Every structure is written in structure tokens, then in C-alpha cells.
Structure 1
Amino acid sequence: MQKTHHILWTGGFDSTFRVLDLVLNKKRLVQPHYIIDEERPSTNKELETIHTIIAHVGIMDMKAAERIKPLIIVNKKDITSEQEDKDKFERLVSTSFLGTQYVWLPAYLKQNGIAEIESGAHKDDNIETFIADYVKKIEDNDDYYYMLKNEYADTDLSIFARFQFPLLDYSKLDMERIAKESGFHHLMEMTWFCYRPQKDGQPCGLCNPCKYAKEEGMERRVPRPRIDDFIMFYSLKYLRKAKRNLVNGSGSKK
């Protein structure tokens, strides 16, 4: 029975590259998952991007499109993270930045009987430097990935135990090169990365994902922010910070 690759697909550059490389180049089956976060402004844009890319895969290669199983969509509010994992996450994040998906995704996998899922963490990504010394390489025919070493199963790093990391040796520019060589670069141009899309559908150019895209060689895809967008972005950022301070009791009253 052919292996099915479970992938958290956001419509972003890294996860999209992995999906396309698997179905077009390696002829593998992919089961994509999308987690709806109601606080994430880019949700509709990401889902639209995923379905658009699938449609264009079908134009290129119908058999490849058939290797992408129907997208599983779950609301994040229906996932209950275990307190033990939350505690591990809090201790880890106190030493370095770590995305919150590494605390609620393990709970999602456990609740749905899924053994492992692939992460789009890549070379020069923050998570790559975070886990590089604690993973082992697993060969898989014409493919390979990294997983947490067994000796860390009883440590805080165990929150990574259900993740496969197939892109740790690839930078965004490496992925772009392979996409060009493989004939699906035009699909990679459809990917989405901005957290806070503008009304005209363009990236904001100010959020962290936009900044990361520029830092990782994708500056040509990030528009220069307009002055009114700049003012609005930082005004909202200030208001959100003030609100958090009040909620956490750090606001002062005179």
C-alpha cells in the first residue's frame, strides 16, 4: 500500500513546494490538512490559494491532481491541547521563538488518530536552528526527512515527536530552483504568505511573514507598503499591545 504524506498545507511557499514536489516529481499521495484560525485574517486567501493551485495542477497533470486527497479542514477551536504539551511549549518558547502550531497540532493528531504530519520548516528557518541538533535523517526511497531522535522522547522536545521535517536541507531559493527545473515554478508564484492581506488582495508588506519573505530572497513578491497602510498597521499593533497589557493587568490607571 502506497504511503500517504499528511501535510499541514497553508497555501504558503514551503508547504506548497512540498505538496507539488511529492505529487508531480515523486508520484506520492498527499493528504493535506488546513486548520482554521478565526483570528487569522488571511484564512480566506489561504484557502482560495490552495484550491486555485489544485485546479492548476489538474491542468498540468490530472494524475498528479488526483494524488492530492480532498483537503481536510478543521477549526482550531475544536482542538484541545494537553496541559503537559502546553507546559513543554512554554518552557521551550522561553528560550527562542516557536510557532504555536507545535503545541496544538500534536493534540489534533492524537484526537484524529494520525501518527505523523509534515512540517514546512526549512533551512535558515527559526525552527531549523531550534531542532537541528536533535533530529535524525530517515531515508524513504527517493525521498528523506528528519525526525526527533529517540533519546529526546522524554524531554520538552517531545512535542516535535509527531512531526516529519522533509525541508530542513532546503532554503526558499533552493525550492524555487527545483520548481523551475521541474516546470511548476508558475504554481509557486500563486502561493500566499501575508498574514494581513489588503483589500485589493495584495500582501501588506509589513507583517512578519512579509518580512520573512523578503529576508529569505522573495523580496520581489512583497510590495512596498503605502504610507496609509504603514500608519494603519502600526496603529493597530499599538492598540493590540495596549489591550494585552490591560488584560494582563500591566496597564496603569491614574
Structure 2
Amino acid sequence: MTGRDVERVQLLWTGGWDSSFRLMQLLLVEGRAVQPIHVLDTGRPSTLFELRAMEAMRAGLLARLPDPALLAPTRFVLASDHLPGPRDAEIGDRLLRETSMGTQYLWLSGPAAALGWSGVELCIERYESGLSDWQRRVFDEPGRLNGSPESELFRFWSFPVMHLTKEEMREIARSHGFLDLLVLRWSCFRPLDGRPCGRCRPCRLTHDEEVRFANPVLVAARDLARKTRKGLREPAAALALLRRR
């Protein structure tokens, strides 16, 4: 990193609610310079929508900053260029089998380890119900790693918004006048016809009245068709395996 980079907050920006809130908080409330980092997973159906949302939010932010240089060009990293190491893969696979942890925390470890990241801000909100099952294996309190073997997977990050719920972020954004930019974020995992699906977890957590979801009948039909295809593939694969024996 250059000296200029060291002065900047290194922020993993996904284009979703939590990281976009933190980006705007750093720039518009704290007046700090930021280096956004986006790890591209080209296999995600939502990637293009995330990039479009980031472009729209960036344009809005640049118009409001006293010095546009506070917001550095986003640094893009291709996830497939840096696969998780054996130890991280072992920890991640165990957490994925035994908890509800999202797969992103495993594949993000690949670029983080390869590029030597430390203290990069990764944004995870606080749940009203408290720490989730995987978080209890990793944190002793929100934002503080507990030193367990599982917590090694998260050694690259800091967690600046883990004390805030999404609703609290909304109120902060409203009080500081950037809620109109924050609602431009993209969070849906499985969009349909260019709109959020309304069924994935990020969509279920969305309370924005202005969000227009895809037709729920079409979404249900798509998901049913996907499950049906998967159900048909699994017996065929088992039969093919038996025939090879």
C-alpha cells in the first residue's frame, strides 16, 4: 500500500445496506477518506445489480463531498483468482455444515489472505435476537473475535457496525440526510426480471416502501422449477454412479 492508502479506511463494499451505510457514514459524517474494495463473485446472479447500485450511490456521494478525492476509485478483486487456503477452507466448511453462516465469509478469505489484508472493515449488522449460531462460535461480543479456531477465518477484518441494527442505521442515515442515497443499495441474492425476489433473507429484511419486488407468483414458480430440476438431477447422478461401479 502507498502512504495515501494507509490514511484511508479500507472498506469491503458490497453494494448492500450495511457496507453502503458505513461508506456514507465515513464520508459524510466522519469526513474520513475511504478506499472501497469490492470482491467480484461472477457466479452470483446479483453481481451486475450490485455494480449498478454502487455506481448510482457513488455518483450521489461525489456530488455531496467537499472533496471528491475522499472517495477513492473502487478496487476490484476477482474472487476466483484467490481461492481459500486449506486451513481456512477446513474452518469454513465446518461452519457451513454446522451453522447458518453465509458462504461469502469462506470465499472472501481467499483474497484477504493472498493480498495480506488486516483490519479491513467488513460490515455485519446486529440482529435484534442477538448473535446468530455462527457468530457465537466466532465472537465473544459483537465485533470482538473470541480467539476460537473458528474465529481464525475472520482474522482479516474489523467490524464497525456490528453494534447497530439495520433500523438504527436507517435512523442515523435519516438524521444525517443520506437515507435517499442509502436506499439505492442492492441486497437481493436472486433477482428476477431486474427486481428483487422478495423471498431471500436480505429481501425479507427490507422495509423500504419504495422497493418494487418481482411478481411473487413468478418467483415462486422459478424456485419450484429450480427445486424440481435439482430433484431430477440427484437420482440421475446416483444412477450414473452405480452404473460405473
- Does the alignment reach a TM-score above 0.5? yes
Deviation, structure 1 residue 252: 9.4
Residue in structure 1 matching 2:107, options 104, 110, 113:
104
Moved more, 69-78 or 13-22: 69-78
**1:163-191, Cα deviation, whole Å (9 max, x unpaired):** 21111111110000000000001001111
Which sections of structure 2, spanning at least 5 residues, go unmatched?
A: none
The one-letter amino acid paired with 2:159 is F
Give the CA deviation at 1:224.
6.4
Distance 2:14 2:241 in 1: 39
1:13-35 deviation line (CA, Å, top 9, x unaligned) = 11100100011111122211112
Look up the equivalent residue of 1:159 and give its one-letter code.
Answer: L
Q: Does 1:15 align with 2:5?
A: no
In the TM superposition, what whole-angstrom CA distance separates every residue of 1:121-146 from its partner, at most 9, and x where no partner exists?
11118994333575478xxxxxxx83
Q: Does 1:94 align with 2:105?
A: no
Q: Which runs of 5+ in 1 are unaligned?
A: 138-144
Distance in structure 2 (CA, Å) of the matches to 1:233 and 1:103: 25
Normalised by the length of structure 1, the TM-score is 0.81
Deviations along 1:89-137, whole A, 9 cap, x unmatched?
A: 1222232111222222222122112223222211118994333575478
3-state SS, counterpart of residue 98 of structure 2: coil
1:182-219 per-residue CA deviation (whole Å, 9 max, x = no partner) reads: 000100111111122232x32121333322x24xx457
The 1-side partners of 2:122 and 2:129 are apart by 13
Going from structure 1 to structure 2, the CA distance change for 1:187 and 1:94 (only over 3 Å counts) comes to same
* Same amino acid, percent of matched pairs: 26
Q: Which amino acid aligns with 2:110?
A: A
Structure 2: distance between partners of 1:166 and 1:238: 41
Q: Out of 143, 146, 149, which is 2:143 matched to?
A: 146
Q: Distance in 2 between matches of 1:126 and 1:99?
A: 18
Using structure 2 for the length normalisation, give the TM-score: 0.83
